[in-house]
């Protein structure tokens, strides 16, 4: 009785882990796909999200460091 209960519990945990893994992979694939599409906002001029983020991060790196 206990052994079968643990067996079912183990199967449920494995199934849950598989669902979480597949969900994570789908999310990463979706974000990669959508990030590669041109943005639809005014002034974006066909820039993708990844290009936008690369530009923003580059601009942040060029800022002078603030002294505390």
Task: Please give the torsion angle defined by the CA atoms of residues 21, 26, 32 and 36, in that order, rounded to the nearest 10 degrees.
Answer: 180
- Would residue 10 count as lying in a domain? yes
Q: Please tell me the predicted confidence (pLDDT) of residue 68.
A: 65
For 35-56, what is each residue's pLDDT tens digit?
999 998 888 888 999 999 999 9
- Would residue 67 count as lying in a domain? no
SS (HEC) of 10-30: HHHHHHHHHHHHHHHHHHHHH
- Would residue 25 count as lying in a domain? yes
- Would residue 51 count as lying in a domain? yes
Tell me the residue range of the domain where 32 lies: 2-62
Distances (CA, A) of 45 to 15, 37, 39, 41, 48: 44, 12, 8, 8, 9
- Number of structural domains the chain divides into: 1
Q: Is the pTM of the predicted complex or chain greater than 0.85?
A: no
């Amino acid at each position: 009785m206990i052994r079968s209960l643990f067996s079912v519990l183990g199967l449920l945990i494995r199934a849950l882990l598989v669902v979480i893994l597949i969900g994570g992979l789908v999310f990463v694939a979706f974000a990669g796909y959508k990030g590669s599409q041109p943005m639809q906002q005014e002034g974006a001029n066909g820039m993708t999200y990844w290009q936008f983020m690369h530009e923003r991060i580059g601009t942040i790196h060029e800022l002078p460091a603030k002294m505390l």
